[in-house]
Amino acid sequence: MRIPIDRDSEIPLYQQIETYIRQGILSGSIASGTRLPASRVLANDLGVNRITVENAYAELEADNLVHSKVGSGTYVMPSYPTPSLPKDVPGAPWPLWQQDLEASRGSRLSDELETQITSSRHPDLIRFDSGVGDSILFPVEEFRKILQAVLRRDGLLALEYGDPLGYAPLRSTIAHVLASQGLQTNPENILITAGSQQAITLAAQLLLKPGDAVIVESPTYARVLELLQTLQCRVVSIPVDDQGMQIDGLEILLQQHHPRLIYTIPNFQNPTGSCLSLNRRRHLLSLADRYNVPILEDDYVGDLRYEGHALPALKALDPGGRVIYVSTFSKMLMPGLRVGFLVADGPVQASLLHFKRMSDLATSNLAQRALESFVTVGRYQAHLHRACQLYRKRRDTMLRAIRGSLPAGVQVCPPQGGLFIWMRLPEGLENDQLLPLALAEGVSYAAGECFFNNRKGGAGFMRLNFAAQSPERIETGIRRLGKAMRRLRPFTAK
């Protein structure tokens, strides 16, 4: 019996031995009926006194875990029965309530597509399907020093549950960053969340119940579509063009469906890349106000602008309490830190805070403090500038590669910012045939279906992330995509 003992530990040796054996018995790795080594033998093996081993055995016997038979040895007693798991018993069913769950679980298309991609065996898959930027921009070294410094400066405070609204200095910094972008906020109206996904989920869970209608753009962010479907909401779609949501068609939908929420991505919309024009922003606010419908504004990547000028956020045009604004540092800076935020005013702010507290009692305090230390408005602007330079080049590289390597008949609308190019496939090409071929060639993309409530609407579209790959990889990947397309349609010119 190999028992690891630590002579420098404060824990007495007999107790270390006892604990080791106890755990073995409780976990079943030392089976009942096993004869333990004679105390003299074990003591010799471990290099301890015999009395030490005997004390350990005595403690175990006092708890009926072992039994010493005089002249025979010390044996492990049978204890509570080890449950046999249904997996061990072929055909044993899960309880009914679990079977019902399985039946009612809708399919999760974006998960299935992701699985299809990640199970590709290609040794050098170039991935254009991801939803985030390139983490190479992130200054790991600098950030590591900051984490050190925060722990040194704040000690245990950094590891406590923090303010449920979020670390106050960080909320203040966010308010400054937003102000530099033209959005005036009060830090008390800012709620830090675990990424923008949590902010959106919080708002949805607070405001919606099964059967409620929600207005969304078509296409829109796949994860939010799935969230709404999971919450059993009625998704009411409104088409998007190169100026964003087609607001002309909104009023009739409001009248007919009485939605409880409008979800919109006004800047560099995911997946189309379009921006909602200023006129349409005003129009949207006016309609939402008249019909008493809250707006959830998802500004996850509004900073990443390569040309043109920023339009005011819907929140900046909000007379008060009409818009819940959501954003994140993930896409811009550091996904793994999982820090996002929402801005809301009015009673809804307290309700959102309450809901958040119920879910996880505050976002990681350490991450927030480190982020606050790292993000000054100046540093943020500088990082933004570097990101925009890098991503602009990559966008241009991808657009060139598309023109050069893909069949005529693809259509793209070059985005003014963000991470994605939204592409329409040539007539007759669809993802269910194309994606497997693309994966075989060694390139992945985000198939259009998961961005539409009615999936078929996306069969002829794809979303390509240009931000996460180097220019060389972009060119290679688009070439591979071209090959795959031509395998489907060899007679297509080029």
Question: Which residues, 6 or more positions from 184, have their beta carbon under 8 angstroms from its beta carbon?
Answer: 178, 316
Comparison of 323 and 464: residue with beta carbon closer to a copy of itself? 323
What is the number of alpha carbons within 13 Å of residue 425 lying toward its C-beta?
28
Comparison of 94 and 239: residue with beta carbon closer to a copy of itself? 94
Contact (Cβ atoms closer than 8 angstroms) between residue 50 and residue 17: no
- For residue 224, the minimal CB distance to a copy of itself (Å) is 9
Comparison of 127 and 338: residue with beta carbon closer to a copy of itself? 338
Torsion of CA 222, 224, 227, 231, to 10 degrees: -130
Comparison of 143 and 487: residue with beta carbon closer to a copy of itself? 143
- For residue 81, the minimal CB distance to a copy of itself (Å) is 8
- For residue 415, the minimal CB distance to a copy of itself (Å) is 20
- For residue 277, the minimal CB distance to a copy of itself (Å) is 12
- For residue 194, the minimal CB distance to a copy of itself (Å) is 4
| DSSP 8-state secondary structure symbol assigned to residue 85 | P
- For residue 361, the minimal CB distance to a copy of itself (Å) is 5
CA distance 361 to 354: 9
Smallest CA-to-CA distance from 171 within 363, 379, 386 is with 363
Comparison of 207 and 240: residue with beta carbon closer to a copy of itself? 207
- For residue 144, the minimal CB distance to a copy of itself (Å) is 4
Question: Which residues, 6 or more positions from 338, have their beta carbon under 8 angstroms from its beta carbon?
Answer: 194, 195, 330, 363, 364, 367
CA distance 213 to 323: 17
Comparison of 321 and 426: residue with beta carbon closer to a copy of itself? 321
Comparison of 322 and 480: residue with beta carbon closer to a copy of itself? 322
- For residue 353, the minimal CB distance to a copy of itself (Å) is 9
Q: What are phi and psi of 393, to 5 degrees?
A: -60, -45
CA 54-55-56 angle, to 5 degrees, is 90
- For residue 303, the minimal CB distance to a copy of itself (Å) is 13
H helix runs in 28-139, sequence order:
39-46, 50-62, 96-104, 109-118
Comparison of 38 and 382: residue with beta carbon closer to a copy of itself? 382
Question: Which residues, 6 or more positions from 102, have their beta carbon under 8 angstroms from its beta carbon?
Answer: none
CA distance 347 to 364: 25
SS3 per residue for 311-351 = CCCHHHHCCCCCEEEEEECCCCCCHHHCCEEEECCCHHHHH
- For residue 294, the minimal CB distance to a copy of itself (Å) is 6
Distances, alpha carbon 282 to alpha carbons 216, 317, 330, 440, 443, in Å: 17, 7, 28, 47, 41
Comparison of 226 and 430: residue with beta carbon closer to a copy of itself? 226
Comparison of 218 and 328: residue with beta carbon closer to a copy of itself? 328
- For residue 15, the minimal CB distance to a copy of itself (Å) is 9
H helix runs in 239-311, sequence order:
250-257, 278-290
Can you read off the two tokens belonging to residue 114? 């992701």
Run of H or E residues at 142: helix 140-154
Secondary structure (3-state) at 49: coil
Comparison of 346 and 404: residue with beta carbon closer to a copy of itself? 346
